[in-house]
Structure 1
Amino acid sequence: MALHSFNKDPTELTKTIGLYMHSKTFFVISFFLFTAISNAQFIGGWHDTDSLKIGRFDHAAINLNNGYIMVAGGYTETDPGGTIVTELFNTTTQRWEYGPPMNKGRAYHHLVGMNDGSIMAIGGFAERTCEILDLNDWTWSYTDSVNVKKYWWGRTSTLMEDGNILITGGANFDSSFASCEIYDVDSGKWRLTGKLKTSRERHIATLLNDGRILVTGGRTHNQSPFVYQKSCEIFDPVTETWSYVDSMEYPRIDHSATLLPDGRVLVVGGEQTICEIYNPTTNQWSEAGSVEFAFGYNNAFKLSNNKYLLLIQYDGTIRGQEGWELFSLESFESIGYSKFDRKILTMKSAKINDNSVIVMGGLERIGMNYVSANYCQIYDLTTGIEETVNEQVFAIELNSYPNPFNSSANITLNLPASGKVSLSVFNILGEKVTTIHSGYLTEGNHIFNYTPTNISSGTYFLQLQSQQQTKSIKLIYLK
C-alpha cells in the first residue's frame, strides 16, 4: 500500500488503495481518495484604488484600445433615470477622470467595442436609441435605434466575427423575448434576424472559434412560475438561424460562459455550484469541477496566461452573496474564495492586465438602505498570497459482499459529498450488463442489492462513476 505526498500544487489528488480480506464468504475492496480542500488558501489580493467621480449602479464598463477603461451611464443619486456621464480609468496612473458625456442617459444598457476601436452604447431600460463613441475626436453620435425595446438586463450583445453586432432575447415587465437583431456596420442599420427557439432573458452568449454563437440557460419570463432554462442554442451567422444543441445538466441564470483556448466553453455559477463544459465538436456537455459560491457569476476573467479564472460574484438580490473566487483552468477546482467586506450589488468589472481586475461602483447596502457606490477595488494575482491550507481527508468507499457470490451481492458505497452517481456492472469484454443506479445520491452510506439475471458464471466488474472519479472492483459470480 503506497501513499503519495502532495507536491507544490496543494490541490493535487493523492490516493491510496487498501485491500482487506477475507473470510471464506467475505471480500471487500475499498478505495480511498485523499484531497486537500483549500478553502483557506487565497492566491492574490485586493486593494483599494481611486474612487469613481460619482457613485452609480446598473452602469456599463468596457476596455478601450488606448489603455483606458470606461464606465458609462447607470443610475446615480442625481440622475435616477440614468446618467449621461462617463468616466475613464487610466490603467497606468490608476486614476479616474471624466470622459465624453453620452447624448442620452442610460442604465441597463450595453457597451460593445467595434473592430475600428469605436464603442457602441446599446439601448437601456425602456430605451431603443443607440450611439457610437469615436475615439479619434471623443464624441458620441446617434446611430440607428434597435427595433424592439429590451427593458431589462436580460439581453446579450455580441460582436460577431464579421464585425457586426448581434443582440438576443431580453425582457420587459410582461414577458421575455425570442427576437434577435443584427447591427450592420456597413449600412449603420439594425435589422431583425432569426428568432431564438426559446424566449429567454439573463442568458449568456458566447462567440465560438468557428464564428457561431452559443446561447446558454437563462429564464423564460412569460410563464408563471418562471422557467429556468438548461436548454442551449447555436446561431449560424451564414443562415441566420438558431438550432437547439445538447442541453446542460443544470438550469442556469446570470452565469458566466468562458471560451477556453481549446475551443470548449466553460459555464460556472448561475445558482449552481457544479461547473460544466460544452464541446462544440461533439455537441456534448460534461461536468467540470465545482465552485463554492453558486450565484451570479457573470463576471469571469482568464488570468495568468489562461491558468486561472477569476469569478466576480454578485447576487443581484438582497441575499448578500457578493464575493470572489479563483478557479483553476488546469485542474478545474476552486482554489480560493471569500466574501467582499462591503455588500455591493450589480458591481461592474474589467480586466486591467493578465494579472489584475478592477471592480467599480454598484448598489451598496448600508444597514437597511441602498446607495449608489463610487467604491473601486483592484484584484492582483501576484500579491497577497496566503499559504494556509486547510486539509481535510475524504474517503470514497466501494464494497461488495459476499464475493464470490451465487445469488445476490450487497453493494455498499460511502460518498463524501452529494452528487450524481452511476453504478453499473460490465463483463470482461467491457460490455455493460446492467445499471444498478443512475442518479443523484446524498452524502453518506448507501446499500444496493444486486441479483443477476440471464448471465453466466464468471468474472465481472462493478464500476462507480461520480463527479470526482471512476472506480471499479471485480465481482465473481458462481451459479
Structure 2
Amino acid sequence: MNKFKCFYLGWSNTGSMNYARVSHRALLLANGKVLITGGYNNGFLTSAELYDPSTEIWTLTAAMNDARQGHTSSILTNGKVLVTGGFYLNSAELYDPSKENWTITATMNYARQWHTASVLSNEKVLVTGGRNGNVYLNSAELYDPSAGTWTLTSTMNHARQGHTSVVTNGKVLVAGGYDGNTYLNSAELYDPSTNTWTLTSTMNYARQSHTLSVFKDGKVLVTGGENGGYLNSAELYDPSLGTWTLATAMNHARYDHVASLLSNEKVLVIGGWNGVALNSAELYDLSTGTWITTYSMNYGRQGPTLSVLTNGKVLVTGGWSGSTNLNSAELYEPTTDTWTTTDGINNARVWYRSFLLTSEQTLVPVGKNGRPLDNFRKTQLFYFINNEYFLNKHLLFDLECEGGGRGRGGC
C-alpha cells in the first residue's frame, strides 16, 4: 500500500464570521490573531470579532462604542488598535487586545468617512480627507497616542474621498479619490518633519476605490479603481524620481477590491466589482512586470478585507456577493510557498488501483477495465507534481492505493 500526500491548492473555506459584513476593517494583531471591526449588514455594525489562525475559529470580542462603516483601523506601536470615523463620525476609540475592551479617546476635529489613516515612524497617526455628508474634505489631522489628542495639520492640496495612502521613504503618499465633482489623478506627499503637503506627479489615470501597495524598495503599485468606468490599469510610483509609470494592466478591471504584498514580493489582488462581484485573483511580479492569474476564490466579493497572516497564508473576509453580504472567510496558500495541509474541509480518503497520466499531466483514476471513471473525473482532478505529490485542486484528502508505480500502470 502506497500513501501519497495530497494538499489543498489555492483557496479553502475557513470558519465563518459571526456576522455578515461589507466595508468593514481587518487588522493583524501582535498576537497573530485578526481583529474585524464594524461594517454594514442592513445597518451599521458595532460588533467586532477575532480570528485565531491556529484553530480557524471566530470569537466575538467586545463591541465598539459606535457603529461604523467606511472607518479606519490602525495598530499602534503599543499594540493597541485605533479606530476612527465612519458614517459620519468624528469619534475614535482604542482596542486593547490584552483586555479585549474598547476605550473612547479624543474625537477628531472633523467627522469623516472613506478617509485614510497612516501610522508614522514617530508613532503618530495621520488621518486624511474623506467625506462628511456632502462635504468633501482636504483636512488632515494627527493623533498622538502618548497624549491621546488630535491636532490639525496643514491641509492637502485637494479634497478627496475614496483615495489611498501609504508610507514610503518616510513620507505619506496620498493618491487619487473623488472631490465631489471630479475623479482625481493627483497625488501628494506629506512630510512629517516639516508638516507640509507637496504635490508630486499625477497618475496616468484618475481613480477612486483603488489600492496602493509598497514594495521593499519603496516603489508603490496602484491598481484598478473607477473613474466613471472600471479600470484594469496599474501604475508604479518611484519615490526617488517622483514619477508614475504605467505597468502591465491587470487581467480584470476591478474597483473596491483589496491587495497586499506577500512575503515573496508579489502583490496579490483579489475580488472587487466590475458589474459583478469578482472572485478572481491575480499576482503582480515586480521582477518581471507581469500579472499571473492564480486560483479564484470560492465567492465573488466586493469590499472584502485581506490580511496576510504570520504563517504566510492570506485571510479574506466578508464583502458583497452581488446579492447578499457575506460572513464567509477563505484562506489562500500562495502557490510559491511550500504546500501545506490543513485540518479544514473534506478529510476524505479514497482508494483506486491505478491512474492514467494524460498529456496535461492530469492523473485520472481508472477502474478495473482500464477506463477512466468519468463521474470522478468531472469533479476531482489530480496533478502530478515533481514526481512526488498528487494534488487535487478543490478538495483536501489523503490518497492511498495499491500498486508500486507512480503515475503509470499503478498508483
Question: If the TM-score is normalised by the length of the shorter chain, which range does it land in?
Answer: 0.7 to 0.9
Work out which of the residue numbers 88, 113, 116 in structure 1 matches 2:75: 113
The Cα shift of 1:357 comes to 0.9
Number of aligned residues: 329
CA deviations on 1:165-218 (whole Å, 9 max, x unpaired) are: 111111134232111111112221112111110111111111012x21111111
Q: What's the % identity of the aligned pairs?
A: 29
**Residue identity in the other structure for 2:32:** G
Partners of 2:76 and 2:164 lie apart in 1 by: 19
Which residues in structure 2 correspond to 1:363-382 (within 5 Å)?
363-366=320-323, 371-382=324-335
Partners of 1:113 and 1:86 lie apart in 2 by: 15
Contact 2:271 2:277 in 1 (8 A): no
Task: Please name the residue that 1:57 is paired with.
Answer: 22
Which residues in structure 2 correspond to 1:433-472 (within 5 Å)?
none
CA deviations on 1:91-137 (whole Å, 9 max, x unpaired) are: 11111111122222222211110011000111111211111112222
Which residues in structure 2 correspond to 1:379-398 (within 5 Å)?
379-382=332-335
Work out which of the residue numbers 243, 246, 257 in structure 2 matches 1:284: 243
1:131 aligns with 2:84: no
Contact 1:205 1:216 in 2 (8 A): yes
Q: With CA pairs under 8 Å and 6+ residues apart, which has the higher RCO, 1 or 2? A: 2
Judged with a 3 Å threshold, the aligned counterparts in structure 2 of structure 1 residues 144 and 246 are, in CA distance, closer, same or farther, namely same
- Can you give the 5+ residue segments of structure 1 that lack an aligned partner in the other structure? 1-42, 390-479
1:158 aligns with 2:113: no
Which residues in structure 2 correspond to 1:224-239 (within 5 Å)?
227-239=182-194
The Cα shift of 1:266 comes to 1.6
Work out which of the residue numbers 65, 73, 84 in structure 2 matches 1:122: 84
**Residue identity in the other structure for 2:37:** A
Contact 2:276 2:322 in 1 (8 A): no
Judged with a 3 Å threshold, the aligned counterparts in structure 2 of structure 1 residues 288 and 365 are, in CA distance, closer, same or farther, namely closer
Contact 2:23 2:39 in 1 (8 A): yes
Contact 1:360 1:375 in 2 (8 A): yes
Task: Please name the residue that 2:35 is paired with.
Answer: 70
Partners of 1:374 and 1:274 lie apart in 2 by: 30
1:313 aligns with 2:275: no
The Cα shift of 1:364 comes to 3.1
Judged with a 3 Å threshold, the aligned counterparts in structure 2 of structure 1 residues 313 and 344 are, in CA distance, closer, same or farther, namely closer
Which residues in structure 2 correspond to 1:312-461 (within 5 Å)?
312-315=270-273, 318-337=275-294, 340-353=297-310, 355-366=312-323, 371-382=324-335
Judged with a 3 Å threshold, the aligned counterparts in structure 2 of structure 1 residues 388 and 249 are, in CA distance, closer, same or farther, namely farther
1:270 aligns with 2:225: yes
Work out which of the residue numbers 299, 304, 309 in structure 1 matches 2:258: 299
The Cα shift of 1:298 comes to 4.9
Contact 1:268 1:297 in 2 (8 A): no
Partners of 2:296 and 2:32 lie apart in 1 by: 29
Partners of 2:253 and 2:223 lie apart in 1 by: 8
Contact 1:327 1:336 in 2 (8 A): no
The Cα shift of 1:304 comes to 3.8
Judged with a 3 Å threshold, the aligned counterparts in structure 2 of structure 1 residues 298 and 319 are, in CA distance, closer, same or farther, namely closer
**Residue identity in the other structure for 1:277:** L
The RMSD of aligned alpha carbons is 2.3
The Cα shift of 1:142 comes to 0.5
Partners of 2:320 and 2:233 lie apart in 1 by: 28
Task: Please name the residue that 2:203 is paired with.
Answer: 248
CA deviations on 1:283-326 (whole Å, 9 max, x unpaired) are: 122222221122226521222431x21102312x7543453212
Higher CA-based Rg: 1
Contact 1:201 1:218 in 2 (8 A): yes
**Residue identity in the other structure for 1:201:** Q
Judged with a 3 Å threshold, the aligned counterparts in structure 2 of structure 1 residues 69 and 253 are, in CA distance, closer, same or farther, namely same
Task: Please name the residue that 1:186 is paired with.
Answer: 146
Contact 2:27 2:34 in 1 (8 A): yes
**Residue identity in the other structure for 1:59:** H
Judged with a 3 Å threshold, the aligned counterparts in structure 2 of structure 1 residues 135 and 338 are, in CA distance, closer, same or farther, namely closer
Contact 2:107 2:150 in 1 (8 A): yes
Secondary structure of 2:27's partner?
strand
**Residue identity in the other structure for 2:224:** G
**Residue identity in the other structure for 1:286:** T
Partners of 1:268 and 1:44 lie apart in 2 by: 25
The Cα shift of 1:341 comes to 4.7
Task: Please name the residue that 2:103 is paired with.
Answer: 141
Where do 4+ consecutive residues of structure 1 move more than 6 Å? none
Partners of 1:302 and 1:240 lie apart in 2 by: 28
Task: Please name the residue that 1:439 is paired with.
Answer: none
CA deviations on 1:211-235 (whole Å, 9 max, x unpaired) are: 21111111121x2xxx111111001
Contact 1:74 1:83 in 2 (8 A): yes
Contact 1:290 1:332 in 2 (8 A): no
Secondary structure of 1:220's partner?
coil
Partners of 1:46 and 1:196 lie apart in 2 by: 40
- Can you give the 5+ residue segments of structure 2 that lack an aligned partner in the other structure? 1-7, 341-358, 362-411
**Residue identity in the other structure for 2:332:** Y
Contact 1:276 1:286 in 2 (8 A): yes
Contact 1:312 1:324 in 2 (8 A): yes
CA deviations on 1:46-66 (whole Å, 9 max, x unpaired) are: 111110112222221111100
Work out which of the residue numbers 158, 174, 177 in structure 1 matches 2:134: 174
Partners of 2:216 and 2:276 lie apart in 1 by: 34
The Cα shift of 1:161 comes to 1.1
Contact 2:277 2:321 in 1 (8 A): no
**Residue identity in the other structure for 1:183:** Y
**Residue identity in the other structure for 2:309:** I
The Cα shift of 1:73 comes to 1.5
**Residue identity in the other structure for 1:73:** G
Contact 1:304 1:354 in 2 (8 A): no
Judged with a 3 Å threshold, the aligned counterparts in structure 2 of structure 1 residues 324 and 297 are, in CA distance, closer, same or farther, namely farther
